[in-house]
Amino acid sequence: MNDAVAQYEHLNAKAQEQLALPDADRIRAIRAGMWLPLDHAKSTLTKLEELLTYPEVTRMPSYLLVGPSYSGKTSILERFMELHPPDISPEREATLCPVVMIDAPPKPDLSDFYSRILDALMAPYKPTAPPHAKYSQVKLLFRELSVRVLIVDEIHHLIAGSLNRQREFRNALKSLSNEAKISIVASGIEEAYNAFNADAQMSSRFMPVEMPRWSPGPDMGRLLMTLERRTPLRRASSLHQPKLMLAIHARSESMLGDIFDLVKEAAVDAVRSGDEQITEKRLSKLDWVPPSKRKMYRRPL
């Protein structure tokens, strides 16, 4: 091991290379983040992968990813999308699009729902067409493009409508899954349970997958060690040590996305200050508003 590598052995190879970047580019790399193959993310991706090869049966399996905002749901779904992009190879007679992902409409509006799917498929359609016409077009395209999985993020928007609208939207999801022979992966905050548990068929059809909350301990320690190895700072911070781990947990309030963002901003502060290290003292002085205080936060006049 040469001296340069030994000096930065707290970093992986890519992070060591990023140390050579100008500070502005290094900060950009830090803020860009990275995919971390955490245990719960890998197990969730394994479940989703199995949907792609599941035989066409009367009731296709589906999942409901549930967790607080910023707990990592969307990151997992976007990773799944990245692993299965549309295949537009000229050798194929038709484009294959195994996975389609949309955000749920802000209220349970079927016309908007089908329009979002058609937009995701980049298909021309008449915006003023009735929902049943759009539905027929969606089913036809799903067959032509060999769609196997439809992802509907922010599914808790379902409860923004009347009970009749909620029921209509749930029935539309079931019909689309049954008739197009696709699996549906819905994702949302805890209120999504309420939206689905109101219908016994929906609650039995959609297997829940809960996102974990993080508390100080071995799992969070491994998470922080992995983050540190991928964050290009010249000095080791030992984020996994008890005092610093507790400080990170207290300010992030256990949400995975906030842990990531807090470490990113602390790393940016370490670069700008020249310290090249995240410390408990600098973390306490970081301009950071905890999640629980953001709704009521007001800057002093």
Rounded-to-integer distance, Cα 264 and Cα 283, Å: 11
Per domain, the residue ranges of the chain are 3-32+214-293, 39-210
Burial class (CB in 10 A: 0-12, 13-18, 19+), 296: exposed
Thinking of the domain 39-210, which architecture would CATH place it in? 3-Layer(aba) Sandwich (3.40)
Torsion of Cα atoms, 155 then 49 then 69 then 163, to 10°: 20
**Sequence letter at residue 224:** L
Could you list the pLDDT tens digit for every one of the 301 residues in the chain? Answer: 454 556 889 999 999 999 999 999 999 999 998 888 899 999 999 999 999 999 999 999 999 999 988 889 999 999 999 999 988 766 656 678 999 999 999 999 999 999 999 999 999 999 999 999 999 999 999 999 999 999 999 998 888 888 888 889 999 999 999 999 999 999 998 887 777 777 777 778 899 999 988 999 999 999 999 999 999 999 999 999 999 999 999 998 888 999 999 999 999 999 999 999 999 999 999 988 877 776 655 554 4
Q: What is the CA radius of gyration of the chain?
A: 23
Check: CB of residue 81 under 8 Å from CB of residue 215. Answer: no
How many Å apart are CA 24 and CA 30, to the nearest integer? 10
